[in-house]
Amino acid sequence: MTAAISPIALLNATSGKPEEAELWDAITEKQLGDWEAEWIPELFKAIQKLHRAGVERVHWPQSRHWNWRQKTQALQGMLAHPGFSIVCNGTTQGMMIVDTTTHRCRVESQKGKDLVYVEYVENAPWNRPELADPPLYRGIGSILIRAAIALSIEEEFKGRIGLHALPQSNGFYANTCGMTDLGIDASYHGLRYFEMTPEQAESFIAKGN
């Protein structure tokens, strides 16, 4: 699989300086190899540390069971489920899979209109504030959300996106992204559902989060 690669920058949280990075419009074997060889061992060590510190399981990373290889292979060749990834310093720092056809807006002002639905999005363990203090890089989640907005605009959905959030991410989507919180979705694992309207997308892009 080939990927279009766009130059971006990530903030190194330790040095406080931006570093050159790449946004890929795909999840390739390179990303999956990084996930298996780099992410999984680091996540295991982080969970060990939490366990030894007596941290309850409810506070462990809620995406720890995700298998990116399985998710990617299940959607391989399906054009409606593109993937995105961020690479910096030769290593994958974040990944996202979206759906461009299945979901429709629920916000009253946009009800029934097409949107880009974010199925899965995750940072590498060393970029997660709850696991690394400080995280290595900041801004990964925001860059991936901007990529979803850009795809929505490209698909003529005017920047509309939606997603179900793991509880640990609710604050990011509500506050950093400024999305509309539509409450608990009892039909989807009891997760909160968020949507971004065209106006919210424009505001988010303008803020440059």
pLDDT at position 123 is 96
pLDDT at position 209 is 62
pLDDT at position 79 is 75
pLDDT at position 203 is 97
pLDDT (tens digit, 9 = 90+) per residue, 118-137?
Answer: 999 999 999 998 898 899 99
pLDDT at position 3 is 82
Q: Between helices 140-154 and 198-207, what is the axis angle to 10°? A: 140
pLDDT at position 1 is 59
Q: Is the pLDDT of residue 13 over 90?
A: yes
Pair of tokens at residue 199: 């106006």
Lowest mean pLDDT among 63-67, 159-163, 175-179: 63-67
pLDDT at position 65 is 84
Find the mean pLDDT for residues 69-89: 88
CA 81 to CA 118: how far, in whole Å? 9
Report the chain's mean pLDDT, rounded to a whole number: 94
pLDDT at position 111 is 97
CA 5 to CA 23: how far, in whole Å? 6
pLDDT at position 88 is 98
Looking only at the bridges linking them, the beta strands covering 91-99 and 116-123 are antiparallel
Parse the chain into domains and list their residue ranges.
Answer: 5-207
pLDDT (tens digit, 9 = 90+) per residue, 22-70?
Answer: 999 999 999 999 999 999 999 999 889 888 989 888 778 877 889 999 9
CA proximity to 32, closest of 44, 22, 40, 43: 40
pLDDT at position 179 is 98
CATH architecture of 5-207: 3-Layer(aba) Sandwich (3.40)
What secondary structure letter does DSSP report for 17?
A: -
- What's the sign of the alpha-carbon dihedral 175, 160, 102, 23? negative
pLDDT at position 82 is 94
Query: How far apart are the two ends of the chain, measured CA to CA in Å?
Result: 30
Looking only at the bridges linking them, the beta strands covering 161-165 and 116-123 are parallel
Find the mean pLDDT for residues 192-203: 98
CA proximity to 117, closest of 150, 93, 152: 152
CA 150 to CA 127: how far, in whole Å? 23
